[in-house]
Structure 1
Amino acid sequence: MLFSEQNYSRGEYGGSIEVICGSMFSGKTEELIRRLKRAEIAKLKVEIYKPATDTRYDETAVVSHNYNSIEATPVAHSSAILLLKSDTQVVGIDEAQFFDDELPEVCNKLANKGIRVIVAGLDMDFSGQPFGPVPALMAIAELVTKVNAVCVRCGSPAMYSFRRVASDAKILLGEKESYEPRCRACFHARD
């Protein structure tokens, strides 16, 4: 039998970790919302979390660039996710790259309790380096979905988030005014 999203939602394998990763504007949050809404349609008990620092679209909702949304609980530290309701079956976590390095351990604890954990986040920062806890989450996940955006320069699949503004800060919240998706060649051209 194939290891698929349908198998997870039936609880056939107990708990699990799914990671949705890629560049900015690649549809990570859109895919996270889709999977969580399907879990709700299946009448599963769903809890959704986001970093308290990410207030770009909404303070208490996960919102995609297409303005699809789902209510979420903002948390300052990943350990707060462990305080979820005891009947929770599915946990969604958005913007994983902004969480602390304990997030993989938190996700493992949840999955080991039989909970399906779905995490979305950037796998690389603006300089093309692994970002936050996402690479560690990819290593322990049963399923990793890497999505690509479209390069704004040439139209190729884009896996990089090119920062358009001058800043060396590791974390700089922004949208299209600050970032654009680029393919490998256009990212390294840096113009």
Structure 2
Amino acid sequence: MFIEPSLAGGRRGWIEVICGAMFSGKTEELIRRLKRARIANLKVEIFKPGVDTRYDEHNIVSHDENRIISTPLENSQQILLLAQEVDVVGIDEAQFFDAELPNVCDQLALRGIRVIIAGLDMDFQGKPFGQMPFLLAKADYITKLHAICVKCGNIANYSFRKSAAQDTVLLGERDVYEPRCRHCYYEEP
């Protein structure tokens, strides 16, 4: 269970990373934390990569269709320009951002900002995805979520791609991906 850190003793920033396979609830958890920050009257700015237009061009939308407004960006440096006088920054689909994202998050945390990041920790080949390994290394708090394997019902850590496409980035939903446990992931399709 995640325990929110205290701001007692002055304004200190930190980095939280929510990771896991597709359909594990990462975006749902990100939205939940951001809504709680707003309930606490904290100023929140939310960002997503401009490439992710699966559900909506501007909103971050979970698979359960829970949504929150965000700003789509072409690169992570824009976050530093847009996140002025905020308490909390939310970033979804972090694996799609550029190599500067870990440094941007460090700078935000040093400014006293709580940074909450959600993203896939592994790609469809089971390899570390994008900047996520670097963000996990810098994180003060990590939450790893699990989906349910569609083959056997055990916890799923892997995003199995059902198509033969080999591009690392292939946006899709249940038509293209399904969550699988380690055993079923490595089994023949």
What TM-score does the superposition give when structure 2 sets the normalisation length?
A: 0.96
1:125 aligns with 2:123: yes
- Corresponding residue number in structure 2 for 1:95: 93
- Corresponding residue number in structure 1 for 2:39: 41
Distance 1:6 1:142, change over 3 A: closer
Is the contact made by 2:27 and 2:61 (CA closer than 8 Å) also made in structure 1?
yes
1:73 aligns with 2:82: no
Mapping for residues 134-173 of structure 1, pairs under 5 Å: 134-173=132-171
Output the CA distance in 2 between the equivalents of 1:37 and 1:43: 10
Partner letter of residue 139 of structure 1? Answer: A
Distance 1:85 1:153, change over 3 A: closer
Output the CA distance in 2 between the equivalents of 1:63 and 1:107: 22
Select between 83-92 and 156-165 the one with higher mean Cα deviation: 83-92
Matched positions, count: 188
Distance 1:190 1:7, change over 3 A: farther
Q: Any stretches of 5+ residues in structure 2 without a counterpart? A: none
- Deviating above 4 A after TM superposition, structure 1's stretches of 4 or more consecutive aligned residues are 10-13
Q: Any stretches of 5+ residues in structure 1 without a counterpart? A: none
Mapping for residues 11-90 of structure 1, pairs under 5 Å: 14-90=12-88
- Corresponding residue number in structure 1 for 2:4: 5
Partner letter of residue 33 of structure 2? Answer: R
Select between 78-87 and 120-129 the one with higher mean Cα deviation: 78-87
TM superposition shift of 1:6: 4.6
Question: Deviation digits for residues 45-70 of structure 1, max 9, x if unmatched?
Answer: 00000000000000000000000000
Question: Deviation digits for residues 122-161 of structure 1, max 9, x if unmatched?
Answer: 0000000000001100001000000000000000000000
Select between 80-89 and 29-38 the one with higher mean Cα deviation: 80-89
Is the contact made by 1:96 and 1:134 (CA closer than 8 Å) also made in structure 2?
yes
Partner letter of residue 31 of structure 1? Answer: E
TM superposition shift of 1:90: 0.1
TM superposition shift of 1:86: 2.4
Partner letter of residue 110 of structure 1? Answer: L
Q: Find the partner of 1:110 among 105, 108, 111.
A: 108
Output the CA distance in 2 between the equivalents of 1:74 and 1:13: 27
